[in-house]
Structure 1
Amino acid sequence: MLVYLRLLKESFGFAMNALRSNKLRTFLSLLGVTIGIFSIIAVLAAVDSLDKKISKDLSSMDKNTIYLLKFPFGPSDIPQWKREQFPNVKYSEYIYLKDAMTHTDELGYRIFTRNESIKYGANIVSDVQIMPVSHEFIDIEGLTFEEGRFYNESEANSGAPVIVLGDEIAKSLFEDTEPIGKNIRLYGQRFTVIGVLKKEGSTFGGSNDSAAFIPVNFIRKMYGDNNPNLTNVIIFKPEKGVDMEEYKSEISQKLRNFRGVKAGEIDNFFINVFAGFLNIIDEVLGSLRIGGIFISFFSFLVGGFGVANIMFVSVKERTNLIGIQKSLGAKNRFILFQFLFEAIILCVIGGLIGLFMVWIISIVLTNVLDFEFVLSFWNIIIGSGLSILVGIISGIIPAITASNLDPVEAIRTGM
């Protein structure tokens, strides 16, 4: 054991000597390993950070939440031209399903519409996400309030001109003024502010901080139910423990009956489960991870060739020393391990530099952007492991070459 520890120490000394005596050559060779490790770990860290961010943002959402609308969340076997002929979900269907569905905790209605500007006095906030929703939305999405309240069922059904603002919108419009009870202008009409949501920060798919909630029936009175520029959705929150397939079948059967869809005809609507949307996100993140690693592999390949080049040159320069060592009794495996350890140490140095660069950039991005860029312990282990692997692969052939040298010929070559 002591012999191999001494061997490791000597190999480290040779590696440091190679770095000192051939700075430019070693730097250029290790640059490939550094860039390769940096690229792969940066990709893994970025994807892991994005995955963590999405999971955190969507943690409050029930994975069994169902969205009923005319579009699918993911790929569909139904051709696009046929999907475009599907009718929009209607408010009357929401009312019908609300009474007809069983095993349902909450059932709400939402209209997707374009962003608008909101004005209060001389202050104007542009590009505000307007969210016309039914009163159940507060329980479906789990909204929390800084002050005020959400509109009730009576206000929602009558389409009352009341509005609930996200944190950023309220601060931009009112600054230090109390917003509750104030009138703002939207769609050319006055709305009374009845609530302000707690700040939640940026989230995947948008943030409620930059949104404004109004009763869905206000928009229905303005645009009607058949406006092609609006997309309507019915949101189901089933009871816990319910069989999701049976629940989806119940939705399909009752809506088909309500719409008069004949037996044998396909559904002219899509039942999208939120869990399926998460699976699509996981697939996309997985593809990004694999694609990034594949591209980074070529940098790694170049780095491996560079280290192999250093080791071949090192073998050539130390041929005389190898012959002397073998003539004094050094076994082949001692010589092999000596050069193999040297290659590994060189690659580990390059890998550590790459990991350090990722760590520095992660700190900078976390402070500059509203996004937590995390370099996890497992990514550090992966980076270190890949460095060692490249060292073994790039150093094994030069090490074998050195260990198989004939001592007499080696000494003669060096004279």
Structure 2
Amino acid sequence: MLVYFRLLSESFRFAMNALRNNKLRTLLSLLGVTIGIFSIIAVLAAVDSLDKKITKDLSSLDKNTIYLMKMSFGPSEIPQWKREQFPNVKYDEYLYLKGAMTNTDQMGYQIFTKSESLKYGSNTVTSVNVVPVSHEFIDIQGLEFDEGRFYTESEANSAAPVVVIGNEIAKSLFEDSEPIGKKIRMYGQRFTVIGVLKKQGSGMFGNDDSSAFIPVNFVRQQFGDNNKGLVNVIIFKPEKGVDMDAYKAEISQKLRAFRGVKSGEIDNFFINVFSGFTDFIDGIISQMNVVGWIISGFSLLVGGFGIANIMFVSVKERTNLIGIQKSLGAKNRFILFQFLFEAIILSVIGGIIGLLLVWIIAMILTKALDFEFVLGMGNILLGTGLAAIIGLISGILPAISAAKLDPVEAIRTGM
């Protein structure tokens, strides 16, 4: 065992000498490994960070939540021209399904509309995400409040001019003053602030901190039910343990009957289960990983050739020393392991440089953007392991050629 420790130590010393004595040549040879490891780990770290962000953003949502609307969350076999003819879901359909559906915990109605500006005195907040929803939305979404409340059923049905605002909006409009009860201007009218949400931070699917929630009936009165610039959605939250296929079939059967869709005709609506959307996102993330591996694989291949090249040069330069070692009794496997260890050490050094670059860039981007890039221990170990494997594969042929040298011929060649 001590022999191998000494062998590893000597290999490390030779690798360091190669770096010191032939800095440019060695660094150029390691550049491929560095770029390859950097590319793979950068992609994996970015995808992992994105995956964690999405998981965090979706943690408060029930994956069985269903969104009934005229658009599909994912790819569809229905031609686009036909999908564009689908009608918006309507408020009366929401009321009908609310009374007709079974095994339903909550059901709400939402309209996706354009952003607006909010004003209070001389303060204005632009590009506010206005969220017109029915009163059930608080139970579907699980909103948490810093102060105040959500609007009631009677306020929602009567289209009362009340608003619940995000934390950032409250700070921008009111600064340090109390927002509850204050009146802000939106859509040319005055809205009374009745609630302020807890600060959550930006998410992948919107930012509640910069959102304003108003009764959906206010927007219906303002723009009507047939406005093509709006997208309506009915949100279902089934009871726990419900057979999702049967529940979706019930929605389809009852809405088809209400709309008068004939037998044999396709549904003119989409029933989007949130879990299907998350599966779609997971598929995209997996594809990003595959593409990253393919692109980075070419860099690793070039890096492997670079390591092999420097090891062949190292064998040639140390031919005389190899002959002396063999003449003094060094076995073939000792010479083999010596050059293998050296190749692995050089490759790992290149990998560590690549990991260091990923860490530096992740730190910079985390501070510059409102997004946390994480370089996990798993990716660090993966990068180091890949570098070691590349070194092992690249060093095999040079190490074998060194181990097979005849000691007499090696000494004579080196003289």
TM range, smaller chain: over 0.9
> Counterpart in 1 of 2:339?
339
1:243-268: CA deviations, max 9, x gaps? 10010011011111111111111111
In the alignment, the residues of structure 2 paired with residue 20 and residue 183 of structure 1 have an alpha-carbon distance, to the nearest angstrom, of 71
Count of residues paired in the alignment: 415
User: Which region of structure 1 is more displaced relative to structure 2, 393-402 or 92-101?
Assistant: 393-402
Q: How does 1:338-357 map to 2 (within 5 A)?
A: 338-357=338-357
* DSSP 3-state at the match of 2:370: coil
> Counterpart in 1 of 2:226?
226
> Counterpart in 2 of 1:49?
49
1:325-356: CA deviations, max 9, x gaps? 22222222211111111000111111112212
> Counterpart in 1 of 2:133?
133
> Counterpart in 1 of 2:2?
2
* DSSP 3-state at the match of 1:301: helix
Residue identity matched to 2:175: E
Q: How does 1:47-126 map to 2 (within 5 A)?
A: 47-126=47-126
1:203-255: CA deviations, max 9, x gaps? 11211111101100001111111111110000000001111001001101111
> Counterpart in 1 of 2:249?
249
What's the TM-score once normalised by structure 2's chain length?
0.98
In the alignment, the residues of structure 2 paired with residue 137 and residue 217 of structure 1 have an alpha-carbon distance, to the nearest angstrom, of 14
1:287-317: CA deviations, max 9, x gaps? 1111122212222222211111110110000
1:135-177: CA deviations, max 9, x gaps? 0000000011111111100010011111111111111111112
> Counterpart in 1 of 2:146?
146
Quote how far apart the aligned CAs of 1:361 are: 2.4
* DSSP 3-state at the match of 1:242: coil
Quote how far apart the aligned CAs of 1:8 are: 1.1
> Counterpart in 1 of 2:189?
189
> Counterpart in 1 of 2:199?
199
What's the TM-score once normalised by structure 1's chain length?
0.98
In the alignment, the residues of structure 1 paired with residue 157 and residue 393 of structure 2 have an alpha-carbon distance, to the nearest angstrom, of 70
User: Which region of structure 1 is more displaced relative to structure 2, 340-349 or 290-299?
Assistant: 290-299
- Taking only aligned residues, the RMSD between alpha carbons, in angstroms, comes to 1.0
**Unaligned ranges ≥5, structure 2:** none
Residue identity matched to 2:156: A
**Unaligned ranges ≥5, structure 1:** none
1:84-116: CA deviations, max 9, x gaps? 111110000000000001111100000011111
In the alignment, the residues of structure 1 paired with residue 224 and residue 405 of structure 2 have an alpha-carbon distance, to the nearest angstrom, of 88
In the alignment, the residues of structure 2 paired with residue 230 and residue 366 of structure 1 have an alpha-carbon distance, to the nearest angstrom, of 35
Residue identity matched to 1:225: D
Quote how far apart the aligned CAs of 1:363 are: 2.5
In the alignment, the residues of structure 1 paired with residue 311 and residue 16 of structure 2 have an alpha-carbon distance, to the nearest angstrom, of 13
Q: How does 1:25-36 map to 2 (within 5 A)?
A: 25-36=25-36
In the alignment, the residues of structure 2 paired with residue 224 and residue 19 of structure 1 have an alpha-carbon distance, to the nearest angstrom, of 73
In the alignment, the residues of structure 1 paired with residue 312 and residue 80 of structure 2 have an alpha-carbon distance, to the nearest angstrom, of 60
> Counterpart in 1 of 2:40?
40
In the alignment, the residues of structure 2 paired with residue 116 and residue 364 of structure 1 have an alpha-carbon distance, to the nearest angstrom, of 33
> Counterpart in 2 of 1:289?
289
Quote how far apart the aligned CAs of 1:364 are: 2.8
Share of identical aligned residues, percent?
A: 76
In the alignment, the residues of structure 2 paired with residue 53 and residue 411 of structure 1 have an alpha-carbon distance, to the nearest angstrom, of 61
> Counterpart in 1 of 2:161?
161
User: Which region of structure 1 is more displaced relative to structure 2, 339-348 or 288-297?
Assistant: 288-297
> Counterpart in 2 of 1:322?
322
Quote how far apart the aligned CAs of 1:366 are: 2.4
Residue identity matched to 1:197: L
* DSSP 3-state at the match of 1:357: helix
Quote how far apart the aligned CAs of 1:121 are: 1.0
1:47-72: CA deviations, max 9, x gaps? 10110011001100000000000011
In the alignment, the residues of structure 2 paired with residue 358 and residue 268 of structure 1 have an alpha-carbon distance, to the nearest angstrom, of 48
> Counterpart in 1 of 2:365?
365
> Counterpart in 2 of 1:24?
24
* 2:14 counterpart of 1:14: yes
Residue identity matched to 2:343: A
In the alignment, the residues of structure 2 paired with residue 74 and residue 370 of structure 1 have an alpha-carbon distance, to the nearest angstrom, of 27
Q: How does 1:388-407 map to 2 (within 5 A)?
A: 388-407=388-407
Quote how far apart the aligned CAs of 1:368 are: 3.0
In the alignment, the residues of structure 2 paired with residue 193 and residue 115 of structure 1 have an alpha-carbon distance, to the nearest angstrom, of 18
* DSSP 3-state at the match of 2:180: coil
